[in-house]
Structure 1
Amino acid sequence: MKKGDFLWLLALVGFILIMVLPATHEIFVALTTKHAYIGGFVKFSILSTMGELLAIRITTGDWKIPRGVIYRALIWGFLGMIIVLMFALFTTGVQGNIVKGMLPGGESKFIFAFMVSTIMNLTFAPTMMAFHRITDTFIDLKYEKKGKVTLNDVVSKVDWNGFVSFVILKTIPFFWIPAHTITFLLPPEYRILVAASLSIALGGILAFSKKKVRIVKN
């Protein structure tokens, strides 16, 4: 085990302990409830960045800090705030439509969670993922060109075929919908934390998929 492996695991364990230990757990729940947007920003900026670092570790075999890591973390934080809003909108909207009889479910918590996850991931998720792919590509090009980067440069650089065929058509139905169904079965105060934590798992999935493609090409 490399030093970076130990430090990454130590950071993850520390984050988990904050959630588990009674004293810090109560503070976490109180802050998350009172300052939902700030909580979403912090959770996603930290955990999603850890997911990116893990993906690089798996793909390259070493720990490397990606270029523009601060900007990437800020974007993750911003997306975390948006996700806080979307979770509230979709849960309230689905529940309201179930009550009106416009969606199935009745009193079933599982069907409610599944409906929220499915509708959110088929509508909001692709837009968010495309936005994140564009911002990531912009940061990459900014460090490569060290000059003006146009929208055309970014859009042309993005692998849209891979984005649609893998990220949209595979990760959404086989990862995000099942994972978020479980997420929406949890109490509201834990949903954003679990959603942010899922980015670590997805980082591993994406990294393994990249390694598999490289092996096939070689």
Structure 2
Amino acid sequence: MKSKFNFNRDSLLTVVWTSLFTGIILVLYIPETREMFVKATNNHPYLMGMLKLGVLGTMGDLLGSKIVQGKWVLKGINLHKRILVWGFIGILFTVAFPIYSYGVEGLLMEGYLPGSNSALLTSFWKSFLMNSLFAFPMMVINRFLNKLIDHNNLFSIWPIYKTFKEINWEQMLKIVAPTCLWFWLPINTITFLLPSVYRVISGALLAVALGFILGMAKKLGVQEKQVQC
């Protein structure tokens, strides 16, 4: 009876997760709701950045956890704190996209980079610099803050050295870091081709992919430890 209950609960959460993700896609697809989204983003960029990453980043976290454990886990994960952390990263995204967009356009204007007449090459440079200088540190910050949440230290004095030491750096460098090249570079090149109002939501949607990547990294790390034992 217990296994049947767990199966039904897990299936229900899968339906809820999928429905929420589909609903967000529909909001962006339907012209009326898309116009409302654009207006809200223009009027409240930081708030909307927090909302987008808070929702979709957390969904990515939950997906990653499901990949590792084989089931949806909500109990004992301090969900509200994870939403807060993703909201903070949403603010970083809101600032980062214009910084690298306008910064690269300035470099192109001054002749420091080639391709000022090519929209694709311009987007590539924006993505290249953003992923070279921002993407991996952002993922490290995400992992660092999640470690604090795991040990219930987010709202206390941070044990910085201890927390950084607990991060699986081999996993981060061998599995996560290369995604900046083979995944995030081409994907964000496409993102920078989009109108600026859609770039943060694109980043938010890709946060689900980030959750998947981090989840796979954790799963591979667990499997490697089991093999070594």
TM-score by length of 1: 0.90
In the alignment, residue 21 of structure 1 is paired with which amino acid? Answer: I
Say which of 44, 56, 73 aligns to 2:53: 44
Aligned position for 1:19: 28
Aligned position for 2:138: 128
Distance 2:168 2:58 in 1: 21
Q: Decide which moves more: 114-123 or 198-207.
A: 198-207
Say which of 103, 106, 129 aligns to 2:116: 106
Uncovered stretches (5+) of structure 2, i.e. residues with no partner: 1-9
Distance 1:41 1:121, change over 3 A: same
Distance 2:61 2:197 in 1: 25
**By how many angstroms is 1:142 displaced?**
2.0
Asked if the contact 1:142–1:149 (Cα under 8 Å) also holds between the matched residues in 2, the reply is: no
Asked if the contact 2:171–2:217 (Cα under 8 Å) also holds between the matched residues in 1, the reply is: no
Distance 1:213 1:86, change over 3 A: closer
**By how many angstroms is 1:96 displaced?**
1.1
Aligned position for 2:159: 150
2:194 is the alignment partner of 1:197? no
Distance 1:48 1:5 in 2: 16
Distance 1:153 1:214, change over 3 A: closer
Deviations 1:127-181 (CA, angstroms, capped at 9, x unpaired): 22222221111111227xxx9762232122111222222222x111111111111
Aligned position for 1:176: 184
In the alignment, residue 82 of structure 2 is paired with which amino acid? Answer: R
Asked if the contact 1:138–1:149 (Cα under 8 Å) also holds between the matched residues in 2, the reply is: yes
What are the residue-to-residue correspondences of 1:88-99 with 2, within 5 Å? 88-99=98-109
- CA-atom RMSD in angstroms: 1.9
SS state at 1:64 partner: coil
Aligned position for 2:14: 5
Distance 1:148 1:38, change over 3 A: closer
Asked if the contact 1:56–1:207 (Cα under 8 Å) also holds between the matched residues in 2, the reply is: yes
Q: How many residues align?
A: 214
Distance 2:23 2:95 in 1: 27
Distance 1:206 1:118 in 2: 21
In the alignment, residue 80 of structure 2 is paired with which amino acid? Answer: I
Asked if the contact 2:61–2:208 (Cα under 8 Å) also holds between the matched residues in 1, the reply is: yes
Aligned position for 2:89: 79
Uncovered stretches (5+) of structure 1, i.e. residues with no partner: none
Asked if the contact 1:141–1:154 (Cα under 8 Å) also holds between the matched residues in 2, the reply is: no
Distance 2:138 2:189 in 1: 18
Distance 1:211 1:129 in 2: 17
In the alignment, residue 154 of structure 1 is paired with which amino acid? Answer: T
SS state at 2:152 partner: helix
SS state at 2:200 partner: helix
**By how many angstroms is 1:182 displaced?**
1.0
Distance 2:147 2:166 in 1: 7
Aligned position for 1:139: 149
What is the aligned-residue identity percentage? 34
**Superposed structure 1 runs of 4+ greater than 6 Å apart:** none
Say which of 13, 16, 30 aligns to 2:39: 30
In the alignment, residue 51 of structure 2 is paired with which amino acid? Answer: V
Distance 1:86 1:148 in 2: 27
